[in-house]
Structure 1
Amino acid sequence: MSDVLDGLVVGRGHELACELARQVGSPASSLLAVTHFWVGDFDCAVEAAERALAEADTPAERRLALAALAISSSGSAPLTGDVVARAVEALDPTGPRGRVDAFVGYLVAEAALTHARLAEASAVSGWAARAAELWAPHPYAAMMAGAVVRIALFEGRVADAERALVTLRATVTSPRTVLLADAIESLVRGNAADVEGTERLLASIAEADVNLVDHLGRGILLLGAFGAIALGDTVRSADAVLAAGRDAGLTRFTVIDRALGLELLVAGSIAAGDGDAAHAWGAQADMLAAHPIAAPTVDRLNARLAMLDGDSARAAALAERSAAVCRAQARGVEAAESEVVLGQARLASSDVAGAARTLRELVAESDRLGHKAVRRSVGQKLGRAGRRLPPVVGEGWASLSVREAEIAHLILAGHETVPIARALMISPQTVRVHTSRILAAFGVGTRVQLVARFVAEHGARPPEPIPDVELTPRQREVVARAAAGENNSAIGELLGVTVKTVEKHLADASARLGATSRLDLILRWRGLSEQLRGGELEQRRTDPGDLLAGQAPGLDDVRQHDDLAVGGTAGALQVVTAEHGPDSDE
């Protein structure tokens, strides 16, 4: 078994199939089935596994044959009886007794995963984890550890998948398993909305010479395609699917990967505006529609096509059916995607309020599981309908829309609500609503606290020394505590003075520095006004629109989230009606 698994990892699957075909006995037939599966000969794999089951003389041989049959049938026409359930039931309830038992348990977990039976896969994922421990440092241990990550991920438990990546990385011992780990991690990072991390991993895969002769090579490209689609990159995703599939029907893929790959091709064609190509790929998927593994995926694919054709009612019915089946089978990532498509169909049917309500519930649950890509996707759909998602408290810049990031920069530069509204050609009320969302995103209650957080995160410091002639020592002390985000009552208590005394010190300091508000006072005292404006403090004070041409230092890496439809920074801007009530400027 060790020799066979070693040969599979290095790409010798076809040679091994020839060697194993000359051997006799149930274990040899089981390993032959696994090898045929590995190279994509699914019908031959099922035939070998059925022979192994018929020849099995011991419970151990029967368990291995059932596991081989379960995984082999994930790429073929449906078999009579529930082979996955039979393989799960055959496992020893006391757990693995050694490496062979552990491999069989891993194979059953992998089979449940490739059948898209995530509930069963999750229930036996501990076998795969134990197998990775027992087989290390064998190169195939990475496949076992990778199964644990993929089970958690496709079930929708993205945070758990992120934690399992540590074990996966510890098992990689060969160039191909390094690429496998990169591909799996790209998928996890993509679903966690880690754009930079995903891009880095996808670049690593693109630069590699991936050998596509077997399940491992094709899986590396396909997992990368899933990672790219999590970022919304339909073009790169479709290219990777075609490179891995090698034919129009993607016949070397398992049934679930075939269905998902065709859905990516449909989505990519729709995004490119090629409806004929989308329907052509849909026709390939029709051949899978009756397969229990592929049915909910094909329903979702057809829902996309129905929306393309303007039939939002049919799209909603198909997406709703897909979501129900995926939820029943614990296919968390797919269920979330089906519900996003369902929400999109309802929006197209003008049920904006109902769609917004259910999509927000979906985002709340996905955020809890670390599946942050859902927020990005839902934000795009709702933004086009003039609706917004509530910000994630404490997420900072990553949870801001493009417009909110613009306003945050202006606030940090000391501009007040009315000048910001004038510069952006929106109402002061809209600026106030955006301001409340910005404060919530950073987990602060005031704009002064927002500045304090910026200083803490980016290391900005007041210039030294601040001339003594500008502020008295007591004024400097009061202003310093205000700059840290403390309110007047807290400052008075700390310094042993009354609140009115604190207010007087702040008023006198403002007069000395020419500040027009508490926020302006803090920015002037810190010297951040000049830092943020490139030394053009007075020139730009009355013209916040000019500031948008140059972003604040350290903030030009803000990720653009398409959850609010805006265009440009001034003139011809689409103003999206805010859903929340007013909030105070401060």
Structure 2
Amino acid sequence: MSRADRLDALLRELVVVEAVPSHLYLDPVGSSDVAFDNALAGLAAVWAGQFDLAAPLAAAARRAADDPDTVVFAESVCGLVRAGAMVSGPLQEFASAASVSTRVSSELRLPLCALLAEAALAEARLDIAADLLTVVPPRTVLFGRQDHPFLTIIRCFVARVRLFSGDVSGASEEAAQACARARTAAERIFATATAAVVDGSAGRRQEARAGVHRILALDLAPTNALTSGAFLLASYAAIVGDDVRTSAVATLRASTDPSFPEVRIVDRAICFEILTRAAVDGGDLDAARAWQLRAAPLAAHQSAGSTVERIASRVSLLAGDSERSLEEAERSISLAVRAGRALEAAEGEILAARARMSLRERGQAARRLADVVTDADAHGFGAVRRSAARELRAVGRRLPPDARRGWEGLSARERGIAVLIADGRSNAQIAASEYLSEHTVRIHVSRVLHAFGVPTRVGVASALGALSVDSGLGPLTARQQQIVALIATGATNHSIAEALDVSESTVEKHVSAVMRRWEVTSRSGIAHRAAGQHPA
């Protein structure tokens, strides 16, 4: 069998069965292609979470590698082994393998470069992973098949590299392609989980939540990299949406062992962080320290140090030692920045802000968080803004709105005031109708101007367009305008009531009033008519 035939056989089996029969991909005893055979066997072992078995196979493959194909393949498996075992490795050889990736034979370039990029991501080498995407061919055909099951897995690999490199838009496109083209059950499971974590990171909470619940509803055992990985991704999607309980449930389903030995060390550390956070949220210091103890040995690994420091920061804050918590959060940030892991650095900043606010350093906490959110907004990490806003809200402070999002960057209250501004109301008139002080209205107005990137009230009117009578629709109150805006985003009455801090029956009355005024009979009718009023 050719190299392509053997790799093709292995990759197909990795997606569709739990155990891979070696006769499908290894040459008979006495084969002269030792490096490639050992890399194949090592990849099969890694996929099953058997890192100790994979380690000598990967090392043997590296020693025998003497051409670009085997160099890249062997180092991919070595990287995946290092990601799952507490062993160090010569990172210069990893970089060297990436440098010859353009010379990999054409029929093997897509799978081998994608595996090397996945290994780089697993080792927190985002610089190498991102560079490899420039040589990964289009994800359209693999070994002559447009429906090859491993194509979906490769798309998911690429989506995760793009996401953690800060390209949320690119990650969304790859994840959407993976979901649309998945054919087998295993493909669909992994693609759904990948899309959920991308949606969660982008701030698309409803889509992420739906994907997470689809994964958790499945009767799956964590038997290999796909099933364990699906639960891990579901866990990450839940945690970026602040659903700690669901995230903990998904985390615990990713392994049958509380040490999570079959998952990569970076994922292992994040599992312990999620479980620590759940314990901290429940005020259970003993449980938090138990998970911290599990995580502590991982601190020496380059991919886990930042996470272990965040775990320590959470536990210290719960124990009442804010100064120590701040020191640990700062170390976490430093390690994440050094590794080029923007999302982890942002999470560390949020923990540091929490410690600073506990130390009554609220001004500095607010300034640091504003800077972090500005950077996160530029990369599309909507979850960072939400987490930072929650921390500041607890001490009566707020973030500036995202100037790139206009209407979508405003709160429900600010949307109502934007409508009144566009209607020509003065600050005094808005204050009277909304039962606010003029000082509060001025603050809201400045935030609305900032959100639309305009210096004057006329600019807001231009952005939103003429409302109410000018549009030919019945005039609505400011509260009704807020509710219409939320209906247009797909919000339910229950979620609208929570957002506006009113009863659900009050929301129902306003919805009925809007239907009567606009002469529509459904919520979709309201959303359709609203689309002509403002950019929502």
TM-score category by the smaller chain? 0.7 to 0.9
Q: Where do residues 267-306 of structure 1 align in structure 2 (5 Å cutoff)? A: 267-306=277-316
1:112 deviates by 1.1
Query: Which residue pairs with 2:507 in the alignment?
Result: none
Q: Aligned with 1:357: secondary structure?
A: helix
Q: Name which of structure 1's ranges 99-108 and 240-249 shifts more when overlaid on structure 2.
A: 99-108
Query: Which residue pairs with 2:384 in the alignment?
Result: 374
Contact 1:96–1:102 under 8 Å retained in 2? no
Does the alignment pair 1:125 with 2:133?
A: yes
Give the AA of the match of 2:113.
G
The 1:56–1:363 alpha-carbon spacing in structure 2 relative to 1, beyond 3 Å, is closer
Structure 1, unaligned stretches of length 5 or more? 457-483, 485-521, 534-543, 571-586
1:372 deviates by 1.7
- 1:293-330 per-residue CA deviation (whole Å, 9 max, x = no partner) reads 21111011111111111222212221112212211211
- 1:527-560 per-residue CA deviation (whole Å, 9 max, x = no partner) reads 65x5525xxxxxxxxxx8xx57x96435346679
Give the AA of the match of 1:273.
G
Query: Which residue pairs with 1:9 in the alignment?
Result: 15
Contact 2:245–2:278 under 8 Å retained in 1? yes
Does the alignment pair 1:218 with 2:228?
A: yes
Q: Aligned with 2:254: secondary structure?
A: helix
Larger Rg: 1
1:271 deviates by 2.1
Q: 1:32 aligns with which of 27, 32, 41?
A: 41
C-alpha distance in 2 between matches for 1:279 and 1:123: 39
Structure 2, unaligned stretches of length 5 or more? 1-6, 504-536
Q: Aligned with 1:253: secondary structure?
A: coil
Give the AA of the match of 1:300.
R
Q: 2:215 aligns with which of 197, 205, 210?
A: 205
Q: Aligned with 1:247: secondary structure?
A: coil
Q: Aligned with 1:212: secondary structure?
A: coil
Q: 1:555 aligns with which of 478, 486, 496?
A: 486
The 1:416–1:11 alpha-carbon spacing in structure 2 relative to 1, beyond 3 Å, is farther
Q: Name which of structure 1's ranges 438-447 and 352-361 shifts more when overlaid on structure 2.
A: 438-447
Q: 2:341 aligns with which of 331, 337, 343?
A: 331
How many residues are paired up?
486
Does the alignment pair 1:50 with 2:56?
A: no
The 1:381–1:221 alpha-carbon spacing in structure 2 relative to 1, beyond 3 Å, is same
Query: Which residue pairs with 1:504 in the alignment?
Result: none
- TM-score, normalisation: structure 1: 0.74
C-alpha distance in 1 between matches for 2:206 and 2:129: 30
Identical-pair percentage: 32
C-alpha distance in 2 between matches for 1:95 and 1:256: 30
Q: Name which of structure 1's ranges 201-210 and 177-186 shifts more when overlaid on structure 2.
A: 201-210
Q: Where do residues 407-556 of structure 1 align in structure 2 (5 Å cutoff)? A: 407=417, 417-418=427-428, 421=431, 426-442=436-452, 484=466, 523=468, 528=473, 530-532=474-476, 552-556=483-487
Q: 1:240 aligns with which of 243, 250, 257?
A: 250
Does the alignment pair 1:97 with 2:82?
A: no
The 1:390–1:63 alpha-carbon spacing in structure 2 relative to 1, beyond 3 Å, is closer
C-alpha distance in 2 between matches for 1:129 and 1:304: 42
Does the alignment pair 1:71 with 2:80?
A: yes
1:207 deviates by 3.7
1:215 deviates by 0.3
C-alpha distance in 2 between matches for 1:555 and 1:198: 19
Contact 2:10–2:25 under 8 Å retained in 1? no
1:154 deviates by 1.5
* Aligned alpha-carbon RMSD (Å): 3.4
- TM-score, normalisation: structure 2: 0.80
1:62 deviates by 4.4
C-alpha distance in 2 between matches for 1:106 and 1:132: 13
- 1:187-227 per-residue CA deviation (whole Å, 9 max, x = no partner) reads 11111111232233223323444452100111111111111
C-alpha distance in 2 between matches for 1:331 and 1:338: 11
Contact 1:326–1:334 under 8 Å retained in 2? yes
C-alpha distance in 1 between matches for 2:455 and 2:39: 64
1:417 deviates by 4.7
C-alpha distance in 1 between matches for 2:339 and 2:361: 28
Q: Aligned with 2:299: secondary structure?
A: coil
Give the AA of the match of 2:157.
A
C-alpha distance in 2 between matches for 1:26 and 1:335: 38
C-alpha distance in 2 between matches for 1:58 and 1:8: 25
C-alpha distance in 2 between matches for 1:55 and 1:453: 64
The 1:190–1:422 alpha-carbon spacing in structure 2 relative to 1, beyond 3 Å, is same
Contact 2:127–2:340 under 8 Å retained in 1? yes
Q: Aligned with 1:105: secondary structure?
A: helix
Contact 1:424–1:569 under 8 Å retained in 2? no
C-alpha distance in 1 between matches for 2:345 and 2:107: 35
Give the AA of the match of 2:260.
L
Contact 1:21–1:29 under 8 Å retained in 2? no
Does the alignment pair 1:109 with 2:117?
A: yes
Does the alignment pair 1:144 with 2:145?
A: no
Q: Where do residues 307-326 of structure 1 align in structure 2 (5 Å cutoff)? A: 307-326=317-336
Give the AA of the match of 1:31.
L
1:386 deviates by 2.2
Give the AA of the match of 2:18.
R
- 1:374-418 per-residue CA deviation (whole Å, 9 max, x = no partner) reads 111111112222222111235245323354356557778998755
Give the AA of the match of 1:532.
L
C-alpha distance in 2 between matches for 1:108 and 1:152: 14
1:333 deviates by 1.4
- 1:318-359 per-residue CA deviation (whole Å, 9 max, x = no partner) reads 111221221121112112211222222222222222222221
